[in-house]
Structures are given as C-alpha cells and as structure tokens.
Amino acid sequence: MRLQGPGFPAASRLFQALVRRPLIKLFARKAPSSVSGGAESGTLSLAYFSNGLLEEIDVDIREIKVEGYEKVLRAEDSETGLLGFIAVHSTVLGPAAGGMRIWWYEDEKDALTDVLRLAEGMSYKSAVARTGLGGGKAVMVSKPEGKTPERLRAMGRFVDSLGGAYRIAEDVGCTVDDLMIVREETQWVTGLPQNIGGSGDPSPATAKGCELAVRATLKRVFGSDSFEGRRISVLGTGAVGGRLVRHLVQGGAQVLAFDINKERQQQLATELGIELAASQDELMQSECDLLSPCALGAILNDESIPKLRCKAVAGAANNQLLAPKHGAMLQERGILYAPDYVVNAGGIVNIGVEFAPGGYSEKLAYEKIERIPEALNEIFDLAEREGLPTAEAAQRVADQIIEEGRRQQPSGAGKDPA
C-alpha cells in the first residue's frame, strides 16, 4: 500500500526507517516543560525534569523520519499491549492538536498511512480556520474490546512524552470517557467535559460547521443556501453525520442515508422519516444535489468518482480524496468539492477556544464556527479565478497561512506549546 498525497513516500519505505533497537527507558514527569531529542539516531530519547524528581517509564518508543513532518513516533508497550502512533505535522502556528483514532488495522503500514494523512489534514484545517493550533494526530491500533484502561493510560504516557507539543482529543473509536482515562497520565488532553473546564464533545460543533459548509456549497452551485426540497445523500450517521441529518431534515431536505451500523441508521430513519440506502455503493451512486461523506476517508477515488450523480460534495469525513488527482477528477466532472478539512473544522475551532484568554466560551466558539462559509468561499473564489481544483486551492491558502506564521518566528522553531 502506498501513501497517497504530496510528499508521501511508500509506506514500506517508512517502515524500513524504523530504528530496530532495544527497549529504551523514557524519563518523564506529569507536567513536562522542556524536551531534548536525538534526531540523528532516529531513536527518541527524552528527559523531563521537575524539581529534580524523575519518573521512569518503560516504553519502546521509536522515531520514524518522514519528510515534511516535525516528528513521527511509534510506541509499543508489551505490558498493556499498546501499539500506537503519533504524528506531529506542524507546530508553526501553535501546538499540534488532533484526535486519537482507535481502529483495528490489519497492517501497521495502514495505521502509519492513516496517522500521517490525518495529521497533515489537521495542520491545514487549523490553518484555514485560524485556530492558533498546529496539526497532529494519534492512532491506537486496537479492536473495540481491546480498548482497556491500561492501554489508554499507556497512550497517555506516550502523549505526555511530547511535553505538550501534541494535544490529544476525540476521534473515531475514542470517547470523552476514554480521554478521562488518558488524562490520568497527561495534562495534554482537550475536549474534556465542560464541567471541568473543557470544551466538551466536539461533535455538535463539527456538525454545525458542516451544516454551514453544506449551505455555502449549495449556494455556490444553485444560487440559494436553502435545504428546502434539496436531495442530499449522507454516508455515515454517527456522532457528526447523525446530527447533520437532523439539521438537513429540519431545513426541509430530502435525505438518503447509509451507515454500516444498521441499528443506528434504522433508529434515525424511524425518528426522522428519512430514506435508507441498501448499501454504500447504492448511496454513492444515487442521484442527488449534494453528497455528504461523514464516515471514513478515501471515499472519492478512481472507482467511485465516475459513478457519482451529484452536483457537489461536502461532508465531515477526513481525507475524502484518496489522492490529490481525485480533486482534479471531480473538477473535470463538474462536481464542486468542498475541501473536507474546511467543512469539518468546527470541532477543532471549538477545541481551539479552550486556549482563549479566560478559558472556553461556547458563545465565542460558535461565533468562530459561523466563519466557516467565509473561509470556504475564499477557496471557491481562488479555485474559480485560477482554474484550480478546489482541493488545490485550499492547500494553497493553508500553505500561505502556515508560511506567514513561519516568517514571524525564529528559523526552524514552532510555537511554545505552553
């Protein structure tokens, strides 16, 4: 399997870069403030100090050198069975933030591919949404029944080893309850319940941002942002997709949905009276005004794009394009693509407000989320003006914002995560 996207070498080549060395001992404290690493050897060797007190943790942590990424780490803990990855793509605009995906990957290379693509997307998402954060992501390789408190605590120690350069949050397979366990080992956790000062479940914010982005996309194509009478196909009815379906139905849209969780989709259909597709393929090939992918990524590819019967695509799933060329394929077919990391930015915007002076404010968070259509229209305008695929236009905007941030800092330095 090859890594798709700009600058990604083959996954197998990356795994050859893993340093096969004996178990290292990682010294850490609960609230680290400084870090030094051995970059040339490729093996992470860290020491954190607090009033002369050190806590010793045995974890096999190995650094993987990946061009374009500040740090990519693999952690394995034989005692708990943890196998995890953290990718820090960029801290130029602020500490890297992104969710932890808990998923069963048949091959480690697939897990690495996923964490790299997701971390890069988080950098661009945070940049375009101007959150003041960088981009990172974590992956825990686990089946649902393997998500034990012991493994989550081990993941917390893994996160803590980066000293705040990466802030963990929810993602697929990870809940607020899981983060509360991770928090027992590290302070670098975001999206915690509001009653303890966090921003809470990011799903409502993500869904709201997605709703606004869908409206902006419809207006671009049809001249009106109204849902009334529009036929919209939604793939995935989970925490975000299910909320989006409710927004659409409340606005008068005719919704066709599909989810691999049959019970969940049936509950939504019974509650809202929506139509259900018999399969993912049926939904993807349905005639509609707009397709909204809200499940896993890589759904827009060589096989699916020629079969699409929609005028636009705007959804909450990450990494919807399997490769950059698929943005051009959509453009050639006359299908307007709303770049996923702009559409689904509501969650990271919500989390970013945790770092505002005075702490988290839901009012401020949703005021910022209301700006997502503005960011999307800037990208649509650039794409139209330059004749670019919208995905390429979005990348240009994000790269420009990151480069502006880099010019304002000392050479090679990211922002202090504290």
Tell me, yes or no, whether 24 and 172 share the same domain.
yes
- 210 and 293 co-located in one domain: yes
Residue 33 reports pLDDT greater than 50: no
3-state secondary structure the chain: CECCCCCCCEHHHHHHCCCCCCCCEEEECCCCCCCCCCCCCCCCCCECCECCECEEEECEEEECCCCCCCEEEEEEECCCCEEEEEEEEECCCCCEEEEEEEECCCCHHHHHHHHHHHHHHHHHHHHHCCCCCEEEEEEEECCHHHCCHHHHHHHHHHHHCCCCCEEEECCCCCCHHHHHHHCCCCCCECCCCHHHCCCCCCHHHHHHHHHHHHHHHHHHHHCCCCCCCCEEEEECCCCCHHHHHHHHHHCCCEEEEECCCHHHHHHHHHHHCCEECCCHHHHHCCECCEEEECCCCCCECCCCHHHCECCEECCCCCCCECCCHHHHHHHHCCCEECCHHHHCCHHHHHHHHHHCCCCCCHHHHHHHHCCHHHHHHHHHHHHHHHCCCHHHHHHHHHHHHHHHHHHCCCCCCCCCCC
Evaluate if residue 236 carries a pLDDT over 90.
yes
Q: Is residue 67 part of a domain?
A: yes
CATH, residue 173: 3.40.50.10860
Last residue of one domain, picked from the residues 146, 162, 190: 190
Among 26-30, 85-89, 302-306, where is mean pLDDT lowest? 26-30
**pLDDT on residue 124:** 96
Pairing of strands 254-258, 231-235: parallel
**Residue 171 and residue 217 in one domain:** no
- The pLDDT of residue 224: 98
Establish if 414 belongs to a structural domain: no
Residues 137 and 213 in one domain: no
pLDDT at 415: 52
Asked whether residue 3 is assigned to any structural domain, the reply reads no
Select the more confidently predicted residue: 266 or 35: 266
More confidently predicted of 417 and 194: 194
Q: Which of 12-16, 86-90, 145-149 has the lowest mean pLDDT?
A: 12-16
Q: pLDDT category, 58, cuts 50, 70, 90?
A: low
Clarify whether residues 321 and 395 are in a common domain: yes
Residue 408 lies in a domain: no
Does 267 share its domain with 157? no
Claim to verify: residue 65 and residue 151 sit in the same structural domain: yes
For the chain, what is the domain count? 2
Catalytic residue among 125, 137, 368, 415: 137
- Domain presence at residue 407: no
The whole-number pLDDT of residue 335 equals 99
Question: Do 184 and 224 fall into the same domain?
Answer: no
Chain segment 268-326, per-residue pLDDT in tens = 999 999 999 999 999 999 999 999 999 988 999 999 999 999 999 999 999 999 999 99
301 domain-assigned: yes
Instruction: Verify whether residue 143 is a known catalytic residue.
Output: no
Residue 412 domain-assigned?
Answer: no
Residue 69 belongs to what domain range? 11-190
Q: Are residues 110 and 211 in the same domain?
A: no
Identify the domain boundary among 190, 213, 239: 190
Confidence of residue 28 (pLDDT cuts 50, 70, 90): very low
| CATH number for the domain harbouring residue 249 | 3.40.50.720
How much is the mean pLDDT over the chain?
87
**Mean pLDDT along residues 216-239:** 98
Question: Across 26-30, 31-35, 144-148, 298-302, which has the greatest mean pLDDT?
Answer: 298-302
128 and 149 together in one domain:
yes
Answer whether residue 38 shows pLDDT above 60: no
123: amino acid identity, one letter: S
Is the pLDDT assigned to residue 355 strictly greater than 60?
yes
Q: What pLDDT was estimated at residue 409? A: 78
106 belongs to a structural domain: yes
Domain co-membership, 184 together with 207: no
Same domain, 350 and 265: yes
pLDDT value at 413 more than 60: no
For residue 136, the cross-strand partners are 88
**Considering the entire predicted model, what is its pTM?**
0.81
Domain boundary among 146, 169, 190: 190
Residue with tokens 């990466």: 166
